[in-house]
Amino acid sequence: MATTELRRFTRMLGPDDLPDVLAHPSMFETEPLGISVDLSGALTEAAKLIADVAPGAPRSALAAWDEAMVEPLHAGFAGVPRRVLSDMRLWHWLCTREFRDFVLGRWCSERAAEAYDDLTAAERGRFLGRPSLNGVSRNALARLFWCGEVLWSKDEGYDLARKALHRQDLFQNVFERKFGLHRPAARACVLRFSDATQPVWRSSLRGLDFCLSTMVVEVMDEGAITDLLEEFAA
Amino acid sequence: MSSESFYPYTTVADGITPMFEMADPDVRRRADGSWDASNPLLEQVSATVTLDMADNLLDTVLPSAERKEPPVRVLLTAMSVASRRREAWSFTWAEATGGPVELVMPRADWVGTVAVQAVLVRTTDLAHPTDGYAAAATSRLAWSPIEKIAFDEPRELPPGARLDIRWVKFSEGNEWLQRCRKQLFALQYGELPRLLLNEDVAGLKLILSSTGTRGRRPRIRDATFMQIAHQTWSSLLISSLTELANVVRDDPESDSSTLLGEIESWRSGVLRDWARWLFPEAGDQDTAITRMVEMVRAPSMEDLALRRLPYAISQRLETWKGFIGLSREFGVATPEEVTTGGDN
């Protein structure tokens, strides 16, 4: 079993650091976390996705990369404490080192992938990000891990996570809201709306958000949240 | 004006007062009121919490028919975006009012600052909806002020009026600095922002490092400094306000304290520090911060960015003094002309 010794940068990286980090990785100090994980499945899958991409393929085709990566990536971190996984410096390190080519291929233009200074702010956010709702949901790998963490179940495995990642706009609208931190709420939203039209899920999620300003989501189970969503979607 | 939530039924804000007693004496209150649990050797935060209920709390939030067997539970909720976690500990009314309840939060599960709040919620739907009372199960009936538990040291904030400054030869820097090689300065956004001054510009270091208050060199120094300072703080403030706007867009309901906690700490430090200068009419810092968030919440930040921001920077740094000193030194205007506005 090939293992990866996890490290993190000694400081949070900012967008201005990124070109240098990608061009000269050794310039930026890292520290070991004392944890080794098996990321061979995720690294193999990433390499396969990069190798298989057809020249001139539309960027929309790359969205399927997330669905393919969520399972091996999430499974690779089994047993790692939440405190370690919540540290964005770990994800910065993974995105700029071990999975650099995956992030470049999935999210960046060909031009930017060759001239790092040309990376746009949005592209830089795919490597970096703060530990905020927005920051995590944009980081190329953290978003996959936390999506798998919230939506995995013993019966369905990663099916629901793949459904969420299939609809990027729905994914962001669920996981960039605070109710998305409550597992039953995130599950109910993705289950109910993975096949719904955008106007339906947009207005329903706004309705749920509004409702939760007077209701306490922590005491609501998946069924109660689904009932609320049905009311808004009707 | 502070922001306020309006409920379509009777509620009691701050109707519960939680009193925390930490099991570990090392977990102490900080000056800002939060609990300091940042000691890495601490395996968990363990507390007994006495929940003091406001007088007649149930009579206020429940119709009379329900008061004998109140359909409520008391929760201690904990939320931390950085931990990607929200959790609740649930107690019956009798448990919550019969003595202290226990709260255990393992360090492995929580990071950053966690907001803990006591909340009274309905457990069932109201059988016969009654005007003025919450009818739906899980409705929030009463709550406490938020207690904050800090599992990590806050990152160092740059004070609003100071900035890390470095002299660098832009010609020897990275590609971005080389592109800026004719400029006097550049701002670098990292974990903390840094002002880079260009050593390649002939005389810049000599002038800006000069001491003294009289003569040509100090006058040019002050005028140049004001130009750099104005542009630098404009960039830092716009950048921080833009990030705050992104957070507000994603989370329109939260209060200003929560929203500022969501952005990078140096940015929230900058905004907190400048709030009173941006909203001098607010009177105190808290009101100024609330107004700033409200203005960011509005569809357009035009007034803030185009009118208030340059005014605040000019007022705080007194940037006009650089020009006045320079014009006096070079005899362009006499002190009297400067005072009276020249030809007027």
Q: Which of B329, B57, B335 is nearest to B213 (CA)?
A: B329
Q: For residue B319, which amino acid is it?
A: T
Query: Looking at the complex, does the CB of residue B84 fall below 8 Å from at least one CB of chain A?
Result: yes
Taking CB atoms and an 8 Å limit, are A214 and B85 in contact across chains? no
Torsion, Cα A186 A190 A193 A199, to 10 degrees, reads: 60
Most confident of B26-40, B154-168, B254-268, B274-288: B26-40
Q: What is the pLDDT of residue A111?
A: 80
What ipTM was predicted for this assembly? 0.91
User: What is the bridge-based pairing of β-strands B140-143 and B113-122?
Assistant: antiparallel
* DSSP run (H or E) holding A7: strand A4-9
What is the predicted pLDDT for the residue at A183? 96
Q: In this predicted model, which residue has the larger pLDDT, B210 or B279?
A: B279
Lowest mean pLDDT among B10-14, B152-156, B176-180: B152-156
- The confidence score (pLDDT) of residue B2 equals 39
How many whole angstroms separate alpha carbon A124 and alpha carbon A19?
Answer: 9
- What is the least distance, in Å, from the CA of B189 to any CA of chain A? 6
Q: Which of residues 116-155 of B touch A (CB under 8 A)?
A: 119, 121, 134, 136-140
Task: Mean pLDDT check: name the lowest of B170-174, B272-276, B315-319.
Answer: B315-319
The DSSP code sequence of B51-95 is EEEPTTHHHHHS-GGGSSS--EEEEEEEEETTTTEEEEEEEEHHH
- CA-to-CA separations, A152 to A40, A71, A133, A184, B127, in angstroms, rounded: 20, 9, 19, 11, 37
Higher-pLDDT residue of A154 and B163 is A154
Structure tokens at B50: 């006495």
What is the band of B306 on the pLDDT scale with cuts at 50, 70, 90? Answer: confident
> What is the per-residue pLDDT for B156?
47
* Fold classification of B16-150 (topology level): Immunoglobulin-like (2.60.40)
How far is residue A179's CA from residue A206's CA, in Å, rounded to a whole number? 11
Could you tell me the two tokens for B276? 């009173």
Q: Which residues of B touch A130 (CB under 8 A)?
A: 263-264
Q: Do B77 and A214 touch (CB under 8 A)?
A: no
Across chain B, what does the average pLDDT equal?
84
Higher pLDDT, B328 or B68: B68
How big is chain A, counted in residues? 234
- Closest approach of chain B CAs to the CA of A116, in angstroms? 10
Number of residues that this document lists for chain B: 344
**Mutation to test the A interface, candidates B6, B250, B263, B264, most A Cβ within 10 Å:** B250
- Of the candidates A209, A231, A223, A224, which has an alpha carbon nearest to the alpha carbon of residue B125? A224
User: What tokens does A2 get?
Assistant: 């090939």
pLDDT for residue B284: 79
> Confidence band (pLDDT; 50, 70, 90) for B339?
low
* Paired sense of beta strands B44-53 and B72-80, if any: unpaired
Q: Does an H or E element contain B191, and which?
A: none
CA distance A49 to A39: 15
pLDDT of residue B332: 63
Minimal-distance CA residue of chain B relative to A225 = B138
Query: In tens digits, what is the pLDDT along chain A, a chain of 234 residues?
Result: 679 999 999 888 888 889 989 998 888 889 999 999 999 999 999 999 999 987 777 777 888 999 999 999 999 999 999 999 999 999 999 999 999 999 999 999 888 777 888 899 899 999 999 888 989 999 999 999 999 999 999 999 999 999 999 998 899 999 999 999 999 999 999 999 999 999 999 999 989 988 998 999 999 999 999 999 998 888
- A90 CB neighbours in chain B (<8 A) are none
Mean pLDDT: which of A159-163, B1-5, B290-294 is highest?
A159-163
Across B202-217, average pLDDT: 78
Task: Decide if B175 and A19 are in contact by the 8 Å CB cutoff.
Answer: yes
B150-189 residues touching A, CB cutoff 8 A: 174-176, 188-189
Residue ranges in A97-197 assigned as alpha helix (H): 100-107, 110-114, 121-127, 133-138, 142-151, 159-166, 168-175, 183-193
Q: Long-range contacts: A68-72, Cβ < 8 Å, 24+?
A: A69/A42, A69/A45, A69/A102, A69/A144, A70/A144, A70/A147, A70/A148, A70/A158, A70/A161, A70/A162, A70/A165, A71/A148, A71/A157, A71/A158, A71/A161, A72/A39, A72/A41, A72/A42, A72/A44, A72/A45
pLDDT category at B158 given cuts 50, 70, 90 is very low
The pLDDT of residue B155: 58
Higher pLDDT: B126 or B312? It is B126
pTM for the whole structure: 0.73
CB contact under 8 A, B139 and A214: yes
Lowest-confidence region among A165-174, B59-68, B147-156: B147-156
Q: Give residue B229's pLDDT band: very low, low, confident or very high (50, 70, 90).
A: confident
B164: left (phi over 0), alpha (psi -120 to 50) or beta: beta
Number of H helices, E strands in chain B: 12, 13
What is the nearest CA distance from B203 to chain A, expressed in angstroms?
A: 27
Closest residue on chain A to B5 (Cα): A213
Which B positions 16-45 lie with beta carbon below 8 A of chain A? none
Closest-approach residue (CA) in chain B for A23: B174
Per-residue pLDDT at B241 exceeds 50: yes
User: Can you tell me which residue has the tokens 């028919």?
Assistant: B65
Q: Return the SS3 of B113.
A: strand
Name the closest residue on chain B to residue A209, using Cα atoms: B253
Per domain, the residue ranges of chain B are 16-150, 202-329
Amino acid at B2: S
Contact A132 B110 (CB under 8 A): no
Q: Is B237 on the interface with A (CB under 8 A)?
A: no
- The reply to whether B7 touches chain A by the CB within 8 Å rule is yes
Using an 8 Å Cβ cutoff, are A140 and A168 in contact? no
Do B186 and B198 touch, CB atoms closer than 8 A?
yes
Nearest to B81 among A133, A215, A220 (CB): A133
| Cβ–Cβ below 8 Å for B83 and A82 | yes
> Which residue in chain A is spatially nearest to B43 when comparing CA positions?
A83
Cα-to-chain-centroid distance, residue B246: 14
Helix (H) / strand (E) element for B267: namely helix B265-278
Chain A environment of B81 (Cβ under 8 Å): 131-133, 178, 181
Looking at chain B, which residue has its C-alpha nearest residue A143? B84
Does any CB of chain A come closer than 8 Å to the CB of residue B191? yes
- Would you state the pLDDT for residue B114? 94
With 0-12 / 13-18 / 19 or more C-beta atoms within 10 angstroms meaning exposed / middle / buried, residue A40 is: middle
pLDDT at position A16, please? 82
Residue of A nearest to B83 (CA): A86
Cβ-defined contact of A178 to B251 (cutoff 8 Å): yes
Cβ separation A215–B75 shorter than 8 A: no
